[in-house]
């Protein structure tokens, strides 16, 4: 997948009559495509296969993240992506060590004091703990992840977290376990590319945002045709 590049984007949502109006606030590289950007529909069997592959991959990551990805992980990665030292020092070390991300959505827009923040595919939970730190005791930070083993450790550590409210739930991004319009900010870090049905994932993110809320993501954007052998590789999909 030689043409995949990391893109930071910030989207501001203003919801009305069931449809969100999204305005791009960040910058994306210019790319040329011979056809409109669409998400091809997969069969339910294929979606299940991909979710199972992602779960299996991240079960392994929950035990030992080193050597699982073609880029740095842990504190080295977080520092390189612009996470502040004070954030990393405050967060549990076991969480920082297991950080796997492609960018820093919190650098695009800092959560405000008292806001509620949802992290899609929170993994080890670093962004949840940092968001909790930034919103303070009056705010709330929640992480949702497909893999129970990934959130077992951060959920346990959140019980003794002294800097705010950090919560973790098992669930899929395509069917978020939350009511409508409950979050001021939804973030994601390198996870949307793993989701089989991206159309549904974006609709769900919009659904749980409050009117005027912010959706902020760092992810991979493919700007060229992906070879068939990569598309059929479960390891490529889950990495």
Q: 71: alpha, beta or left, given left = phi > 0 and alpha = psi -120 to 50?
A: beta
Compute how many other C-beta atoms are within 10 angstroms of the C-beta atom of residue 68: 15
Instruction: Report DSSP state, residue 193.
Output: G
Contact 13, 215 (CB under 8 A): yes
Q: How many residues does the chain have?
A: 239
End-to-end CA distance of the chain, in Å? 11
Give the H/E segment covering residue 197.
Answer: none
Q: Is the distance from CB of 69 to CB of 112 less than 8 angstroms?
A: no
CATH label, 4-26+46-237, candidates 2.120.10.90, 2.60.40.420, 3.60.15.10, 3.40.50.150: 3.40.50.150
Whole-structure pTM value: 0.81
What order of strands is seen across the sheet that includes strand 183-189?
19-24, 4-16, 209-222, 183-189, 116-120, 140-145, 166-170
Domain ranges of the chain: 4-26+46-237
Angle at 97 between CA 161 and CA 111, to 5 degrees: 50
What is the number of other CB atoms lying within 10 angstroms of the CB of residue 87? Answer: 18
Q: Give every CB contact of residue 228 below 8 A, 6+ residues apart in sequence.
A: none
Strand (E) positions, the chain? 4-16, 19-24, 116-120, 140-145, 166-170, 183-189, 209-222
3-state DSSP call for residue 156?
Answer: helix
Q: Would you write out the chain's pLDDT as a tens digit for each of its 239 residues?
A: 333 444 444 444 445 444 444 444 444 333 333 333 344 567 777 777 777 777 777 777 767 766 666 667 889 999 999 999 999 999 999 999 999 888 899 988 999 999 999 999 999 999 999 999 999 999 999 999 998 988 999 999 999 999 999 999 999 999 999 999 999 999 999 888 888 888 899 999 999 999 989 999 988 777 777 777 766 666 666 56
CA distances from 51 to 115, 145, 225, 238 (A): 31, 11, 23, 8
Cross-strand pairs, 5: 221
Tokens of 228: 């068939």
Residue with tokens 């409210």: 165
């Amino acid at each position: 997948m030689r043409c995949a590049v990391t893109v930071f984007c910030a989207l501001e949502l203003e919801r009305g009559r069931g449809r969100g109006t999204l305005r791009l606030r960040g910058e994306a590289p210019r790319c040329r495509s011979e056809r409109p950007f669409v998400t091809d529909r997969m069969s339910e069997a294929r979606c299940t296969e991909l979710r199972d592959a992602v779960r299996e991959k991240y079960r392994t990551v929950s035990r030992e993240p080193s050597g699982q990805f073609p880029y740095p992980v842990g504190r080295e990665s977080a520092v390189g992506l612009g996470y502040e030292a004070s954030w990393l020092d405050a967060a549990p070390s076991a969480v920082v060590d297991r950080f796997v991300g492609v960018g820093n959505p919190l650098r695009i827009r800092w959560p405000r004091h008292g806001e509620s923040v949802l992290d899609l595919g929170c993994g080890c939970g670093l962004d949840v703990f940092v968001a909790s730190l930034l919103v303070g005791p009056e705010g709330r930070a929640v992480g949702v992840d497909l893999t129970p083993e990934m959130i077992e450790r951060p959920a346990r550590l959140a019980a003794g977290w002294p800097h705010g409210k950090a919560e973790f739930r098992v669930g899929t991004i395509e069917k978020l376990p939350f009511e409508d319009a409950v979050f001021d900010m939804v973030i994601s870090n390198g996870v949307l590319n793993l989701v089989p049905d991206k159309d549904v994932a974006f609709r769900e993110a919009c659904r749980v945002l409050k009117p005027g809320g912010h959706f902020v993501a760092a992810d991979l954007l493919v700007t060229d045709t992906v070879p068939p052998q990569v598309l059929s590789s479960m390891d490529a999909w889950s990495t």
